[in-house]
Amino acid sequence: MPPAAPRMATVNTEEAGLMGVLKNRWLQWLRLTSLLAGAAMLLSACGRADLSPLNPQGEVAKEQLNIMKISISIMTLVVVVVFTLAIYVVIRYRRRPGNDGIPVQVEGNHKLEIIWTVIPLILLVILGVPTVQTVFGQAKDYSKDEDAILVNVTAHQYWWKFEYPQEGIVTAQELVVPKNSTIVIEAKTADVLHSFWVPALAGKIDTNPAGNINRMYIKTPDKTGIFLGKCAELCGPAHALMDFKVKVVDEESYANWISAMKAPAKLPEDPAIAEVFEKKCLSCHAVGDKGVPVYPDLTGIGDRETVAGILVNTDNPKYKHEGTVYDNLYRWIKNPQEVKPGNLMPTVELTEEELQGIARYLADYKLHYESEELRNNDATSDKEER
Ligand code: HEC
Ligand SMILES: [Cu+2]
């Protein structure tokens, strides 16, 4: 049995310490909230312009961030007020020595009940009106708008087909669009569920099987840039590699691109390579007006940012999935399954010479559509960040 006296002393210290502990907690909590608020601000400032919804580009993404801001602010306000009241009540109305009475009972108090019903109602209206407005606003159908650019998006395991019905052209993996414009996306799938998502430009839209077509629009920003797109719906083993790009260019480059895409196909100069390419590749692929457009259209692939959406073309490769456009093409054609497990391109039997010849030809298949302004922009800040 421990002696009685020290025990009493302990109780007293605990009593006195409670205030101290609460005060400390309060301070800790305050520090934590300011830290979180700081982190939130920092994160939103750091969001990558090519990737993050917190650094939105273009009108649609900006409107969406505004809704996020309103809901987070209201949530924060509610949390701060409720926690402050709760902590205040715990401290102010805690049981004190000698106070054995029952506190004033407020059950059924109309005034209080009206107050705590009306406040949330007001908050819901503040949250609801702009949310409903934006959501319905963004459902607007621009497909009949003469100035809008229509793009039919078809998701495939594991690549994206972009069709421009107004121009009669098709491309893959890289959606080229002019700045300051409205793009109408009509999205469907060729196989399973996928989801089209360009975080910095707009929300996502699912592509559903059974012929269903979903529509959304994107307002491109008033500057050029390359934005990352993702499949946002688990669709198979290479789902995480099902990336694409949205390339926003100036008017001049866009017009050049359209006419270059419509130009007749350019085939390998070496007749032996051309023959192999036509026989072994154009049975699935198309270039210009040649071939079968079942799988990704390869017209101008030497100009694109990536091969197969995931091997990044760069002259200064740093990571495993980076390489020069030639190296990436070589690597892909040699063994597509190594890059994207489960994709539908088989390893085509080629001699080393044929493989190199085809990779060289495709790497040199450029459309040279970029205006001088765009090339200069590309050379500066933008590319460094990526
Ligand atoms: C049986 C059909 C088939 C054949 C034959 C075929 N491919 Fe493919 N190819 C595909 C499919 C499917 C993809 C898309 C893979 C993915 O990303 O999921 C593809 C993707 C590609 C890509 C990446 C396209 C892009 O948009 O980035 C290149 C390059 C390519 N193939 C080159 C070739 C070459 C060169 C040959 C001939 C040696 C060839 N393919 C033969 C089906 C085929
Ligand atoms: Cu997917």
CATH code assigned at 233: 2.60.40.420
- Output the six-digit token pair for 52: 């993050």
Specify whether 62 is located in the same domain as 173.
Answer: no
Contact (CB, 8 A) for 265 and 288: yes
**Tens digit of pLDDT at every position of the chain (386 positions):** 444 444 444 444 444 555 666 667 677 777 777 777 766 666 555 678 898 889 999 999 999 999 999 999 999 999 999 999 999 999 988 888 888 888 888 888 999 999 999 999 999 999 999 999 999 999 999 999 999 999 999 999 999 999 999 999 999 999 999 999 999 999 999 999 999 999 999 989 999 998 899 999 999 999 999 999 999 999 999 999 999 999 999 999 999 999 999 999 999 999 999 999 999 999 999 999 999 989 999 999 999 999 999 999 999 999 999 999 999 999 999 999 999 999 999 999 999 999 999 999 999 999 999 999 888 876 554 444 44
Shared domain for 119 and 158, answered yes or no, is: no
Question: 142 lies in a domain?
Answer: no
Q: Which among 212, 217, 312, 301 has a CA at the least distance from the CA of 265?
A: 301
**Is residue 265 exposed (0-12), middle (13-18) or buried (19+ Cβ within 10 Å)?**
middle
| Shared-domain flag, residues 161 and 122 | no
Whether 80 and 182 map to the same domain: the answer is no
175-199: b or e for each residue (b if 16 or more CB lie within 10 Å)? Answer: bbbbbebbbbbbbbbeebebbbbbb
Q: With respect to residue 99, please indicate whether it lies within any of the assigned structural domains.
A: no
Same domain? For 242 and 310 the reply is yes
> How far are the Cα atoms of 132, 149, 250 from residue 222, in angstroms, in the given order?
26, 16, 9
Distance CA 106, CA 113 (A): 10
Give 84 Cα–ligand 2 centroid separation in angstroms. 44
Q: Is residue 102 part of a domain?
A: no
**To test the ligand 1 pocket, which listed residue (176, 244, 295) has its Cβ within 8 A of the most ligand atoms?**
295
Read off the pTM: 0.84
Distance 50 CA to ligand 2 centre (A): 20
Residues 75 and 156 in one domain: no
As residues whose CB is below 5 A from the ion ligand 2, the structure lists 194, 231, 235, 239, 242
Question: Do 121 and 198 fall into the same domain?
Answer: no
Q: How many CA atoms lie within 13 A of 48 on its CB side?
A: 14
Statement to judge: residues 188 and 42 lie in one domain: no
Asked if residue 371 is part of any domain, the answer here is: yes
**Whether residue 340 has its Cβ less than 6 Å from ligand 1:** yes
The token pair at 163 is: 């069709």
Q: Relative to the CA of 350, which ligand 1 atom is closest?
A: 38
The reply to whether 86 and 163 lie within a common domain is no
Rounded to 5°, the CA angle 62-67-70 comes to 125
Q: Is residue 28, in this structure, part of any structural domain at all?
A: yes
Measured in angstroms, how far is the CA atom of residue 245 from the centroid of ligand 1?
Answer: 18
Could you tell me if 159 and 126 lie in one domain? no
Tell whether ligand 1 has an atom less than 6 A from the beta carbon of residue 313: no
* Cβ contact 305:245 at 8 Å: yes
- Binding site membership of 296 for ligand 1 (Cβ less than 6 Å): yes
- Identify which ligand lies nearest to the alpha carbon of 230: 2
Domain of 60: which CATH number?
1.10.287
Provide DSSP, 49-69: TTT-TTS--SHHHHHHHHHHH
Do 154 and 238 share a domain, yes or no?
yes
Range of the domain at 228: 147-386
The total of structural domains in the chain comes to 2
**Is 161 contained in some domain?**
yes
Nearest CA to ligand 1 atom 39: 281
**213 assigned to some structural domain:** yes
Residues 298 and 371 in one domain: yes
